[in-house]
């Protein structure tokens, strides 16, 4: 029954026009960035490297597909949560608003199975978005700009990663980014269980992300104790894969916190959904 | 007595401080078309939602097919089909896709051919691939019936299935319910505001008001137990009125016009009254029993208010 319901969720997601907005938005946004970098990327790179030119000599093409993909990821990974929430925030509340949840729950499938099927479908949709982002950023980026060593500027300084050392880092980075977005998907589905309108959970998800991001960014002591436990703090952990040496402990800590959020949110959603009276 | 299909005992449900259902009790037997009656806000929909586990009752027990709903939800719902108020579908999907979605989680293996046959049965075969967004209310209602019957349920629960339907649609639903009972032996629990319709098809009924059961039983018995209201169409109503007053002490005049008399009396006295009036030279054009479910229903509600 669970997999039948998962299949149903796929049918519904693929039939909704809004599901393609995310893919379209990624295509357009990445396209704009690629165009801008193609036209004026070299001057941007020159601006960044100018401060190092007294001590370092750069050889080869710095503006290559690997750097382009990194720039795209850095710019877009903050905005993708909205595209995720746009679809996943509607999975339960949209059905409550349209009345179809009532029809579904008069069938013998358990409420837990029905909800889990929505979480699974939301996860698959999120995976599709991240894969599409990967294709557009890494593959199209390399096709347009060629490959080469990756130069990353982080808080510790400049890191140069060799061309053959980059692909596995992207795989790891995308995997962590997926888990971060999966937390967003889980959050929006959980909120969706508490609402009977489509827009509320989407807006609330984004509001929570913005609030947590502000708390994470503000250098105020009172937030120091909670900052490490906010999922938004770990949404940028994909960048850790581009550090040398690899901060394995930090990455694992981020994964644990993201997974803990997911388990907690799924548990809360299942508990509430099973208790909920369907009066719509 | 035949097999009990639904047993509801002391059902109650409170929303905040509002008691939607206080003490609802009824039993539905196999093969019944069971009328579930009550005014708006009586607790009908809440009770029906409790039967389908959409709402969790605070107290009371619901047994369906002899099993407790609380512990056998999936098994019971696999044998139950329902429409609650109005059927809602995925507007962006076709009629076929909608039925396929509901059939996949119905607990039965429903083939493509069976879905197509069901669409044909409800007269939507030609619209199979059309999106539900373009369907009229009547078409959605028919699709709802298809969804209800697709997995061959033994129990069918219909909450206001004729809402918004045109007269032909209402007749179609009525005939369908009777066919389901007579040809397939299904048990139907039916909630409706159309009391005349209910009188035509229900064999048993319960009336609830303010969340409580007022009366339950065989429709025919409940109505026969009541005093008749008889309307006579007669040529000389004024003279007839006087003659009846003089000779029939057990007949009460309710109202009169130039050619009509409305009388309250026992069913057994109707023939004798008719015979006597004819013998006295009155011309009687029509005798109509006004003892309808509607009168009974209103009388029960009024009695409840007085109590």
Q: With 70 as the cut, is the pLDDT of residue B226 above it?
A: no
Give B69's Cβ-side CA count (13 Å radius): 26
The ipTM value here is: 0.85
pLDDT of res. A147? 87
Task: Give the distance from residue A166's alpha carbon to the nearest chain B alpha carbon, in angstroms.
Answer: 43
pLDDT tens for residues B97-139? 999 999 999 878 889 999 999 999 888 889 999 999 999 888 8
Substitution target from A8, A14, A17, A108 for chain B, most B beta carbons within 10 A: A108
pLDDT of res. A146? 87
Q: Which tokens sit at B248?
A: 């029939």
pLDDT tens for residues B247-275? 988 888 888 888 999 888 887 788 888 99
Q: What's the DSSP call for residue B183?
A: H
> Is A250 among the domain residues?
yes
User: B78 and A108: CB-CB below 8 Å?
Assistant: yes
Task: Give the distance from residue A121's alpha carbon to the nearest chain B alpha carbon, in angstroms.
Answer: 15
pLDDT of res. B229? 78
Task: Give the distance from residue B236's alpha carbon to the nearest chain A alpha carbon, in angstroms.
Answer: 57
Q: Strand B187-191 and strand B33-37: pairing?
A: parallel
- Spatial CB neighbours of B281, under 8 Å, sequence gap ≥ 6: none
Q: Tell me the pTM.
A: 0.85
> Is A36 among the domain residues?
yes
From residue A45, how far is each of A38, A40, A74, A218, B117 by CA, in Å? Answer: 12, 9, 15, 29, 66
Q: With 80 as the cut, is the pLDDT of residue B293 above it?
A: no
For every one of its 280 residues, what pLDDT tens digit does chain A have, with 9 covering 90 and above? 889 999 999 999 999 988 999 899 999 999 999 999 888 878 877 777 777 767 767 677 778 888 989 988 888 777 889 999 999 999 999 999 999 999 999 999 999 999 999 999 999 999 999 999 999 999 999 999 888 888 887 767 778 888 888 899 999 999 999 999 999 999 999 999 999 888 999 999 999 999 999 998 888 888 888 888 999 989 888 888 988 888 999 999 999 999 999 999 999 999 999 999 998 7
Task: Give the distance from residue A143's alpha carbon to the nearest chain B alpha carbon, in angstroms.
Answer: 38
Residues 101-140 of B with CB under 8 A from A: 101-102, 104-107
What's the number of domains chain A is made of? Answer: 1
> Is A280 among the domain residues?
no
Substitution target from B53, B54, B64, B86 for chain A, most A beta carbons within 10 A: B54
Q: How far apart are CA A110 and CA A4, in angstroms?
A: 12
> DSSP string spanning A98-129?
HTHHHHHTTSSS-HHHHHHHHHHHHHHHHHHH
> Is A38 among the domain residues?
yes
Assign B290 a pLDDT band (cuts: 50, 70, 90). Answer: low
pLDDT of res. A13? 94
pLDDT of res. A108? 93
Q: At what angle do helices A248-275 and A111-134 cross, to 10 degrees?
A: 140
> Does B84 lie at the interface with A, CB-CB under 8 angstroms?
yes
Q: With 90 as the cut, is the pLDDT of residue B91 above it?
A: yes
Length of chain A: 280
Task: Give the distance from residue B97's alpha carbon to the nearest chain A alpha carbon, in angstroms.
Answer: 9
> Is A121 among the domain residues?
yes
> Is A31 among the domain residues?
yes
Q: How far apart are CA B171 and CA B150, in angstroms?
A: 21
Give B51's Cβ-side CA count (13 Å radius): 33
User: B105 and A4: CB-CB below 8 Å?
Assistant: yes
Of A12, A104, A278, the CB nearest to B55: A278
Q: How far apart are CA B244 and CA B99, in angstroms?
A: 62
Cβ A242 vs Cβ A173: under 8 Å:
yes
> Is A238 among the domain residues?
yes
Task: Give the distance from residue B54's alpha carbon to the nearest chain A alpha carbon, in angstroms.
Answer: 5
Minimum mean pLDDT range among A51-60, B32-41, B209-218: A51-60
> CA nearest A170: which of A110, A240, A261?
A240
Contacts of B103 in chain A (CB under 8 A): none
pLDDT tens for residues B23-35? 999 999 999 999 9
Contacts of A105 in chain B (CB under 8 A): 52-54
> Is A215 among the domain residues?
yes
Of A1, A15, A102, the CB nearest to B92: A15
Contacts of A20 in chain B (CB under 8 A): none
> CA nearest A84: which of A10, A4, A181?
A181
Contacts of A107 in chain B (CB under 8 A): 77, 102, 105-107
Q: What mean pLDDT do residues B170-183 have?
A: 85
Three-class secondary structure of residue A189 per DSSP: helix
pLDDT of res. A218? 86
Nearest CA in chain A to B87: A103
Q: Please give the residue range of the domain that contains residue A93.
A: 2-275
Chain A residues whose C-beta is within 8 A of a chain B C-beta are 1, 4-5, 7-8, 11-12, 15-17, 98-100, 102-110, 114, 275, 277-279
Walk across the sheet containing B260-265 and list its strands.
B252-256, B260-265, B228-234, B284-289
Q: Which tokens sit at A96?
A: 């409550």
């Amino acid at each position: 029954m669970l997999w039948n319901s998962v299949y149903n969720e796929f049918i519904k997601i693929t039939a909704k026009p809004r599901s393609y907005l995310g893919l379209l938005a990624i295509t357009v946004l990445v396209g704009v960035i690629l165009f801008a970098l193609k036209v004026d990327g070299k001057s941007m790179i020159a601006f960044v490297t100018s401060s190092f030119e007294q001590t370092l000599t750069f050889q080869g093409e710095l503006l290559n597909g690997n750097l382009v993909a990194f720039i795209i990821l850095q710019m877009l990974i903050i905005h993708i949560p909205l595209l995720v929430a746009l679809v996943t925030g509607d999975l339960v509340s949209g059905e409550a608003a349209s009345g179809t949840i009532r029809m579904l729950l008069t069938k013998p499938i358990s409420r837990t199975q029905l909800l889990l099927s929505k979480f699974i479908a939301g996860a698959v949709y999120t995976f599709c978005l991240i894969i599409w982002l990967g294709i557009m950023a890494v593959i199209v980026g390399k096709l347009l700009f060629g490959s080469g060593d990756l130069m990353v500027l982080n808080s510790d300084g400049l890191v140069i990663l060799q061309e053959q050392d980059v692909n596995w880092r992207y795989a790891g980075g995308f995997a962590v980014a997926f888990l971060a977005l999966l937390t967003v998907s889980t959050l929006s589905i959980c909120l969706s269980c508490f609402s009977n309108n489509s827009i509320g959970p989407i807006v609330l998800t984004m509001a929570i992300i913005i609030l947590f991001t502000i708390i994470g960014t503000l250098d105020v002591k009172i937030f120091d104790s909670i900052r490490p436990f906010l999922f938004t703090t770990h949404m940028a952990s994909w960048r850790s894969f581009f550090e040398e040496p690899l901060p394995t402990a930090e990455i694992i800590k981020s994964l644990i916190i993201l997974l803990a959020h997911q388990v907690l949110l799924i548990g809360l959603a299942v508990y509430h959904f099973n208790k909920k009276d369907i009066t719509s | 007595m035949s097999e009990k299909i639904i047993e509801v005992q002391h059902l109650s449900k409170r929303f905040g401080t509002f008691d939607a259902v206080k003490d609802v009790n009824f039993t539905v037997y196999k093969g019944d078309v069971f009328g579930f009656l009550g005014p708006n806000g009586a607790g009908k929909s809440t009770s029906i939602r409790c039967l389908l586990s959409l709402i969790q009752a605070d107290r009371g027990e619901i047994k369906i097919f002899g099993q407790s709903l609380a512990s056998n939800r999936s098994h019971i719902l696999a044998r139950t089909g329902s429409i609650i108020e109005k059927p809602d579908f995925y507007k962006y999907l076709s009629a076929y896709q909608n039925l396929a979605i509901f059939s996949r989680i119905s607990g039965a293996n429903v083939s493509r051919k069976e879905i197509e046959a069901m669409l044909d049965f409800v007269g939507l075969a030609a619209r199979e691939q059309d999106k539900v967004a373009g369907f009229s209310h009547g078409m959605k209602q028919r699709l709802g019936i298809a969804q209800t019957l697709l997995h061959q349920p033994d129990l069918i629960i219909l909450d206001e299935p004729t809402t918004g339907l045109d007269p032909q649609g209402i007749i179609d639903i009525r005939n369908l319910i009777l066919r389901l009972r007579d040809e397939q032996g299904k048990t139907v629990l039916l909630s409706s505001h159309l009391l005349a319709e209910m009188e035509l098809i229900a064999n048993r009924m319960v009336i609830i008001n303010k969340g409580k059961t007022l009366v339950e039983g065989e429709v025919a018995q409940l109505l026969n137990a009541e005093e008749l209201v008889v309307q006579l169409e007669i040529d000389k109503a004024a003279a007839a009125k006087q003659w009846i007053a003089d000779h029939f002490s057990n007949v009460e005049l309710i109202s009169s016009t130039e050619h009509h008399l409305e009388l309250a009396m026992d069913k057994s006295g109707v023939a004798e009254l008719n015979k006597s009036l004819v013998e006295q030279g009155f011309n009687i054009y029509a005798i109509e029993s006004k003892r309808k479910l509607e009168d009974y229903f209103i009388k029960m509600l009024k009695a409840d208010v007085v109590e």
